[in-house]
Structure 1
Amino acid sequence: EILADFIHRNSNRKNQPFIKVGLSAIPAELLESELFGHEKGPYTGAAGEKKGLFELADTGSIFLDDIDDFPLSLQSKLLRVLESREMMRIGAEKPIQIDVRLITASKVDLKKLVDEGRFRPDLYYRINVVPVNIPPLRERTDDIPSLVNYFIKRYAEEKNISVTTEAMAALINYHWPGNVRELKNVIHRTVLFCKSMIHAENLPKEVLSFNRINSIINSCQKCLVTHKLSFREAVSCLEANLIRQSLDHLNGNKLAAAKFLSLPPSTLNDKIKKYGLESDNRICYANETNVREDVPGDKNTFK
């Protein structure tokens, strides 16, 4: 949603409407009416005419979040709107010309849904004009301080709140299964009860008690128990994740990571090659004296 906001604000449509739609929150039976509107009386409950969200976004932008939840039965109508630049309200006899920029976001790989027959390939190729892959927040922890400051200013600018080093370290260490939306809610909730400084104890219990290493171990154990991985595969998965996490924690410093993992540098180097981790451009060979001791500090979007 933040990226969609950015695209709209920096386009020539910035002074025009920007409609945001959470598709997963709208019941399937109401979605067509919400998006495309209806005339008076085409079905029970339609007492008057109603403009759809596409019509309200005319000359501006519309953001369809969770496009992977878009019903297959309506995908042909959405495709027709995009191709013809006109839409029909439910019960209407004449189409309405519209001019909108469509931005969509998916929480899963749409190409996989296409291969499974759950998403129309022609619609996929129509919206996949400028794809932007946004990694999960846990894979871009360097963004967390900037996002934290952004949300503090958004929800409590008048308080001039700052964050302690310990609190920021806890926020960076957390795995954020809810991605940016979860971080936004945590900051929003926290600033309500803070006057000038966010301390570690002000953060939710789940953030403070999170242990990244235990999370990796539990995840690999779950894959083993559910038979997604063999024992050998689970051990390799755990080893690769521990190495990747250590390198990330130490800004890619291999010598420091070897010391942290109690491994000879040559052994760590062999394992990095084994698991294909050397493609990570953060890996470096800095001297141990230059190692930082502090802690550094999730969708596919189609435009």
Structure 2
Amino acid sequence: MYYNLPFNTLRDMCRTTIESLEKWLRRLIDEELRNPLGDNYLWYQDKKNNFLFKKSIRENVKKRREDEPKRYPRDIDAVLLDDAVDIILHPIFYREYFREALTGAFPDGVEEARTFFSRIIEPRNYLSHANSISIRQVEQVICYSNDIIDSLKKYYEQKGMMQLYNVPTFIQLTDSKGNTFYTSQIDNNRNGTGGAGLNLQKRGYELYPGETLQIEIEVDPSFKEEEYIINWIYTSVNPAPTKSGKKFNLTLDNSHVREDFTVYCKITSIGRDWHRLGDCDDRLSITYRVLPPVEL
């Protein structure tokens, strides 16, 4: 199949696949280490004040966040593929925190994982420096990366089955103002009803008439997209309009000017006669400040 595709297409496929793998690995690390080691787990020290992770990882994360704070709002966001693999393949951490999630891809353990990760990282490095890669390396990147992602999907699916409510929930939100919120941040903003609210009425994130607001959400990928529907609604002087799908787009006009312009998103499972929040399974509100048009 790959022999019939242009090299530019193959390179783009590999980059997209590797980017997806990085996101999955960052999620795994964050969710598995945050509870036992705390929010600053990359800087965790044992009883003898020894850091658990390599100095190079901590320094790389610190530098990336200092250079591009909006791109890397959390430490884990600044962990790239090489660092993520180093963290996961730490012999003790692999056994205690990551083996179960990756056993579908690496049934023989950490050394097998090290071998196959190396077959992804080598062509990734070539791609990063605009060098060519072979068709065999394209196959390795795409096949091995998807094997790992499939193993993680299965792991999260099994975890969901053990929860009180096995329903789709939000795991990430990004918007056109440069904001990104992840599972832990969304969960920290949940209220007594189980829904979550994000307040962006802060300086530097104001909206104006004529501006297009874009919001995109990601749902727990252990659920197939055909298993749920996503609906959006937003405050308006007229009957509240609705939109659907993972992406919300709205070009603002003077009717949207207000202190608390709010966009609401709901996920609802299909085929169930009950839902975690009564009428839906997860609910998220995002509140902005829309200022009057600038007078020229």
Q: Which of structures 1 and 2 has the bigger CA Rg?
A: 1
After TM superposition, the score normalised by the length of structure 2 is 0.26
More helix by share: 1
After TM superposition, the score normalised by the length of structure 1 is 0.25
